[in-house]
A and B are shown apart, each in its own frame.
Chain A
Amino acid sequence: QKEVEQDPGPLSVPEGAIVSLNCTYSNSAFQYFMWYRQYSRKGPELLMYTYSSGNKEDGRFTAQVDKSSKYISLFIRDSQPSDSATYLCAIRQSNDYKLSFGAGTTVTVRA
């Protein structure tokens, strides 16, 4: 069983739609949760991070964590064509900075 499961998609939505991405993890020792955006042939860019259950909002992005279900989500509101990219969830334990990544979901926002 992989440590982090993420549906690779692809996901195609019209401009202005809400994009919903999610990951599940198996080990309750994971306490830190990140979302990265990766454009083609580029390194990942940290979008959001959260360390507790609940919601965290940053502009059009909302990260949601449910530790009891071991489920994390990222929502993108009012999606734009420039949001077209691969989104990777990543998790780690509190005393270890090594990241475990999901497979990444490829998102296309159609103009």
Chain B
Amino acid sequence: GAVVSQHPSRVICKSGTSVKIECRSLDFQATTMFWYRQFPKKSLMLMATSNEGSKATYEQGVEKDKFLINHASLTLSTLTVTSAHPEDSSFYICSARDTLNTEAFFGQGTRLTVV
């Protein structure tokens, strides 16, 4: 399957700072990317959908000003957690699809710890 690379895999930051997570499609052009959040022993919850060159569409209850998503190119989307707090600590996962692949492929995930 196609390869989606997510960076960093782990990050620890202080409360009040911002953290940027990158999601790259390595061997295909990702017209659509998705950002998920996963709590321990819980399932994936969709946060937002982004299409290249467009503003992201956020799911109900997700603060768009806190979780900034940029999808400026066909191979890169970024999620920035602004003014992070301990409750933002979680596992964040991106997925990406192009117009050829029916289903999306997932990145390795980023474990964010806010202290």
Contacts and interface: CB of A to CB of B under 8 A. Distances in A.
B43 A97 contact: no
B108 A43 contact: yes
A101 B4 CA distance: 19
Interface residues of B, number: 24
Given A44-B93, A44-B106, A103 B43 contact: yes
Interface string A6-35: 101000000000000000000000001010
A88 B83 CA distance: 32
Given A43-B108, A43-B109, A49-B103, A99 B93 contact: no
Interface residues of A, number: 21
B19 interface: no
B42 A97 contact: no
Contact of B109 (A8, A36, A41): A41
Contacts, number: 51
Most B CB contacts (10 A, CB to CB) among A36, A44, A102, A106 go to: A44
Given A41-B91, A41-B109, A97-B97, A46 B103 contact: yes
A48 to B, nearest CB: 10
A105 B52 CA distance: 34
Contacts of B1: 46
A98 B97 CA distance: 11
17 contacts: A8-B41, A32-B103, A36-B106, A41-B91, A41-B109, A43-B4, A44-B44, A44-B106, A46-B105, A88-B43, A98-B34, A98-B49, A99-B34, A99-B104, A101-B43, A101-B44, A103-B43
Interface of A: 6, 8, 32, 34, 36, 41-46, 49, 88, 97-99, 101-104, 106
Given A42-B109, A44-B44, A46-B103, 14 more contacts: A8-B41, A34-B103, A41-B111, A43-B106, A43-B108, A43-B109, A45-B106, A46-B1, A46-B106, A97-B34, A99-B46, A101-B43, A103-B43, A104-B42
